[in-house]
């Protein structure tokens, strides 16, 4: 029997606005689970649509199943049915049309659905009513991702741009990141990420059913953002050789990366490092409806041995050996996703922010992924819970041991540091560009009894961690060594330091000072310069020794990793036991780079971005390029190239653009050349809604 339906109106614009998805599109239906949406059925003949005879079917996945929750057949009820089921009610009716209010369960699987309608029981096949996408719903109290505060929902779900923190604990820097989760093609790319995950390929029916669970979905996304075990989005590379791809420091946001991945699903985008992995994962989770924020942990430990100790080795002349399995990263970026954890004992104790780390470091259940790990469990040392708690706990709370390798090959322990790992854990504040320090979410204050109790609890609960072996504390050295900057180090200029030495007794000292290029993950890439001096330190007198790192020596070594580790080792000539060590991480400040907007910022009205950069060097800059991007402002990144920029000269570049979305948007620009790698700048633009009046 044929259908009486002549048309089905999914009311996309009205529904999407109500479901806060209109920023993605108003041309297709995109709704959030647990929340009612409307559709209107039109008939070609009067009185042919009888609500009590209507039967609707929604289904998702390649093998829809009512038993697995990926298919539901339901009729029109006079009252709402159990919240666990789909239901429909008559919103409005006329002789030739019926408007239905359809509500999905708050735990329905997310993804793309098809909808069909039978207008009478005798129909064998329903009328195709179209397709829609169902997302997680942080506005729905029954959804596991429910977030009660509207300002936080606006920040962690709706904000399309943000800040990622880099640098070091002492020199925190920020970079703008364009998440772009509401660009029109990003949603389909995010769903494709789920479809290509190995679990889906192994058992699609089970995978689509499990997509009701944000714990499962976020763990899948964590694995799929890297490409170590699957056809994931990004290939990681640490070092200075990025041939065949793009330096991780060049990216301005997630959109270009996800679009590049879409072109070649079988090949990852080259290349990413932790902040790139984190930025892309934040885009995907926000797009799918899971509240998410990017987090930076300074002095972040990578404990490969599971003993909560990070061993760091130095030669007695100050150079740190390059090969060491354990490491402390200047900073490490991951994300937090907001969700309930009913899978854990003591729920709701562990509800809330969960650590998710897509950077490939260690295996978790045989896959390079990490989390979700409850932040509250990290704080208390509850390392026996899912997922990956021992590794995350060590990242923020391991102890550091410093060893000197003497000339005869023996090792001397000179320092045990229980406080420096896990510092200034940072994220962007809600509703502003201020940095929020969330360290106390992860650990009790350093030096307190509660912090050490959590440390012991972590060891007690985990079969992957063990208590550090007790060792006698090394007596404090009598020679005091400090490294200080004479002024703020600027990339492109000589770096002037001073080494300060003190001793309570007269000493003849051999002072070794070394400068090495350090990648942000703690790996020492290359030696820059070194100096050895014999000095005499007199009692109660501070001796200052100048040390300069010329740009002519460090410039060619710095390739987007503006960090230099300086180490000073003072050896008493009369006593091999009297050795002191000091180290300092030098973060270089880049030359000024600016971007401003010219014109009245109104949706669909032409504007210009003015970008300026002046060469501060005495030599020409070569192979220069400027890349500008911004979701809602530019449909794709704009790139301008300049063969060279002479000494002292300024480049002024105008980028015409027409904003196609209203609201607060962000332009991000990158200046790159052979001498300075990937200098960033950004500006926010408040785009007014276009009005025809």
Residue 488 tokens, joined: 């703020």
> Is position 42 annotated as part of the catalytic site?
no
451 is in an annotated binding site: yes
* Tokens 């027409």, located at residue: 658
User: How far is it, in rounded angstroms, from Cα 99 to Cα 97?
Assistant: 7
Beta strands in 541-606, from DSSP E residues, in sequence order: 543-549, 563-572, 579-587, 593-598
The reply to whether 107 belongs to the active site is no
CA distance 307 to 1: 71
Question: For the chain, first and last CA: distance in Å?
Answer: 50
Asked if residue 446 belongs to a known ligand binding site, the reply is yes
Tokens 């509207």 belong to which residue? 150
- Main-chain dihedrals φ then ψ at residue 124, nearest 5 degrees: -85, -30
Identify whether 370 is a catalytic site residue: no
Residues in the chain: 693
Listed in sequence order, the residues at least 6 apart from 456 whose beta carbon sits closer than 8 Å to its beta carbon are 381, 467
Q: Which of 143, 311, 357, 585 is catalytic?
A: 357
For 184-233, the DSSP string reads: TTHHHHHHHHHHTSHHHHH-HHHHHHHTT-HHHHHHHHHHHHB-SSSS-S
Cα(31)–Cα(36) distance, integer angstroms: 9
User: In this structure, are residues 355 and 372 in contact, taking their beta carbons and an 8 Å threshold?
Assistant: yes
399 annotated ligand binder? yes
Choice among 212, 274, 370, 624 that is catalytic: 274
Q: Which residue has the tokens 């932040």?
A: 375
Helix 186-195 crosses helix 255-263 at what angle (to 10 degrees)? Answer: 60
Q: 632: closest CA among 93, 24, 220? A: 24
User: Residues near 425 by Cβ (< 8 Å), separated by ≥ 6?
Assistant: 295, 296, 297, 298, 396, 437, 438, 439, 441, 442
Tokens found for residue 659: 């904003």
State the DSSP code for 24: T
What is the phi/psi pair of residue 378, to 5°?
-60, -45
DSSP 102-150: EE--TTPPPEEEEEEEESSTT-SSPEEEEEEEEE--TT-TTSTT----H
Please work out, in degrees rounded to the nearest 5, the angle formed at the alpha carbon of residue 227 by the alpha carbons of 221 and 232.
50
Q: Of residues 19, 161, 302, 332, which has the active-site annotation?
A: 332
222 Cβ contact partners less than 8 Å away, ≥ 6 residues apart:
281, 356, 357, 358, 369, 370, 371
User: Does 397 show up as a binding residue in the annotation?
Assistant: yes
Catalytic residue IDs: 274, 332, 357
Annotated binding site for Ca(2+): 397, 399, 446, 451
Annotated binding site: 397, 399, 446, 451
């Amino acid at each position: 029997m044929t259908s009486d339906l002549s048309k089905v109106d999914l009311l996309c614009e009205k529904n999407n606005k109500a479901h806060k998805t209109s920023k993605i599109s108003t041309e297709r239906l995109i709704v959030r689970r647990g929340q009612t949406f409307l559709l209107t059925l039109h008939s070609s003949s009067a009185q042919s649509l009888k609500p009590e005879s209507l039967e609707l079917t929604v289904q998702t996945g390649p093998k829809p199943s009512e038993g697995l929750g990926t298919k539901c057949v339901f009729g029109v009820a006079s009252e709402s049915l159990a919240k666990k089921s789909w239901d429909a009610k008559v919103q409005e009716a006329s002789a030739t049309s019926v408007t239905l209010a359809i509500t999905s369960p708050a735990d329905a699987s997310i993804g793309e659905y098809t909808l069909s309608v039978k207008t009478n029981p005798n129909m064998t096949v329903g009328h195709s009513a179209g397709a829609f996408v169902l997302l997680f719903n942080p506005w729905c109290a029954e959804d596991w991702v429910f977030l009660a505060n509207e300002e936080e929902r606006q920040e962690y779900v709706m904000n399309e741009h943000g800040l990622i923190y880099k640098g070091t604990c002492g020199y925190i820097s920020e970079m703008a990141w364009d998440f772009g989760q509401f660009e029109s093609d990003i949603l389909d790319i995010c769903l494709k990420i789920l479809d290509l995950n190995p679990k889906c390929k192994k058992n699609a029916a089970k995978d689509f059913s499990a997509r009701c669970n944000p714990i499962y979905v976020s763990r899948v996304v964590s694995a799929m953002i890297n490409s170590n075990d699957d056809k994931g989005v990004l290939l990681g590379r640490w070092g200075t050789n990025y041939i065949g791809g793009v330096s991780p420091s060049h990216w301005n946001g997630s959109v270009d990366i996800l679009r590049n991945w879409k072109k070649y699903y079988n090949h990852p985008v080259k290349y990413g490092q932790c902040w790139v992995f984190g930025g892309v994962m934040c885009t995907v989770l926000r797009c799918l409806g899971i509240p998410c924020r990017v987090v930076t942990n300074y002095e972040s430990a990578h404990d490969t041995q599971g003993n909560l100790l990070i061993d760091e080795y130095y030669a007695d002349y100050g150079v740190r050996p390059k090969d060491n399995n354990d490491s402390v990263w200047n900073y490490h970026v991951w994300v937090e996703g907001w969700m309930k954890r009913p899978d854990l004992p003591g729920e709701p104790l562990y509800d809330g922010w969960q650590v998710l780390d897509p950077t490939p470091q260690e295996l978790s259940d045989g896959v390079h992924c990490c989390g979700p790990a409850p932040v509250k469990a990290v704080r208390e040392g509850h390392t026996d819970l899912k997922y990956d708690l021992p590794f995350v706990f060590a990242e923020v709370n391991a102890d550091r041991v410093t060893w000197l390798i003497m000339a005869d090959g023996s090792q001397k322990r000179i320092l045990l540091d229980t406080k420096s790992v896990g510092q200034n854990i940072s994220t962007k504040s809600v509703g502003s560009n201020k940095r929020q320090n969330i360290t106390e979410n992860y650990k009790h204050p350093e030096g307190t009894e509660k912090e050490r109790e959590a440390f012991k609890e972590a060891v007690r609960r985990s079969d992957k961690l063990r208590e550090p072996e007790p060792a006698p504390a090394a007596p404090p050295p009598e020679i005091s060594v400090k490294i200080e900057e004479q002024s703020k180090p600027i990339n492109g200029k000589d770096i002037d330091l001073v080494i300060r030495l003190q001793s309570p007794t007269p000493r003849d000292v051999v002072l070794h000072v070394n400068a090495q290029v350090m990648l942000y993950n703690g790996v020492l890439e290359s030696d820059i310069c070194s100096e050895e001096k014999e000095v005499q330190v007199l009692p109660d007198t501070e001796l200052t020794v100048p040390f300069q790192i010329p740009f002519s020596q460090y410039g060619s070594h710095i390739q987007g990793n503006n960090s230099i580790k300086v180490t000073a080792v003072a050896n008493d000539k009369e006593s091999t036991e009297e050795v002191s060590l000091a180290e300092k991480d030098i973060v270089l400040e880049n030359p000024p780079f600016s971007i401003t907007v010219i014109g009245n910022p109104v949706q669909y009205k032409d504007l210009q971005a003015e970008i300026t950069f002046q060469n501060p060097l005495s030599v020409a800059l070569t192979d220069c390029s400027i890349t500008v991007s911004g979701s809602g402002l530019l449909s794709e990144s704009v790139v301008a190239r300049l063969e060279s920029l002479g000494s002292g000269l300024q480049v002024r570049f105008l980028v015409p653009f027409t904003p196609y979305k209203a609201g607060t948007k962000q332009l991000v620009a990158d200046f790159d050349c052979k001498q300075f790698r990937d200098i960033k700048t950004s500006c926010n633009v408040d785009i007014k809604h276009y009005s025809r009046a």
